[in-house]
Structure 1
């Protein structure tokens, strides 16, 4: 995926009303998921919530899992594990790059 497409997906420009239309969720539900730290909108200068297409996808996933009977606390644990896993992967990748750079620089 190109960086333009990635920036488009993650750019926080969608209002809560539009998110409601796209997801079928109410503003109250979306605010609740934010309160439970499952979604992280940005705020405009006026304090309005702004979401990305990535947030919309996350909200759809959250709604589906809650409909299946999952609790928000379980979803939060799952989210923490995903974030931790992504962080661990990034750290390992950085360490490997550093080791490779050191090895190849040493050989020159």
Structure 2
């Protein structure tokens, strides 16, 4: 079961109010592949509370002079490190319990 923070239920207008970002800024961050809302059948964007937190973090980094390319690059590196760590942990667990893949 996923956390309520991961449920994509918030419209772009409310996200704009919560973050202080314009709807255009939010769409721009989506275009730059920094945020990934879901789309309803009617093409309405829906965001989660984690997306709101991520947008605030992005806005703070932009304000500090970090570019969208650098933000995306750092996120990819973070994800890659997490995936590597997870593979290593699975390998250690498999070795400890003598599980063969």
Tell me which of 79, 82, 93 is aligned to 2:78: 82
The corresponding residue for 1:49 is 45
Larger radius of gyration: 1
CA RMSD, 1 decimal: 1.3
Q: How far 1:67 sits from its partner (Å)? A: 0.3
d(CA) in 1 for partners of 2:56, 2:49: 11
Instruction: Give the gaps of 5 or more residues in structure 2.
Output: none
Match of 2:64 among 53, 64, 68: 68
How many residues are paired up? 99
Q: Does 1:22 align with 2:18?
A: yes
Q: How far apart are residue 99 of structure 1 and its match?
A: 1.0
Query: Distance between the aligned counterparts of 2:81 and 2:40, measured in 1?
Result: 30
Give the TM-score normalised by structure 1: 0.86
Q: Over residues 15-38 of structure 1, what are the superposed CA-to-partner deviations in whole Å (9 max), with x where a residue is unaligned? A: 111100000001100000000010
Superposed displacement of residue 71, structure 1: 0.6
What is the rounded CA distance, in whole Å, between the counterparts of 1:76 and 1:86 in structure 2?
15
Pick from 92, 95, 99 the counterpart of residue 99 of structure 1.
95
Q: Which runs of 5+ in 1 are unaligned?
A: 104-108
Structure 2 counterpart of 1:32? 28
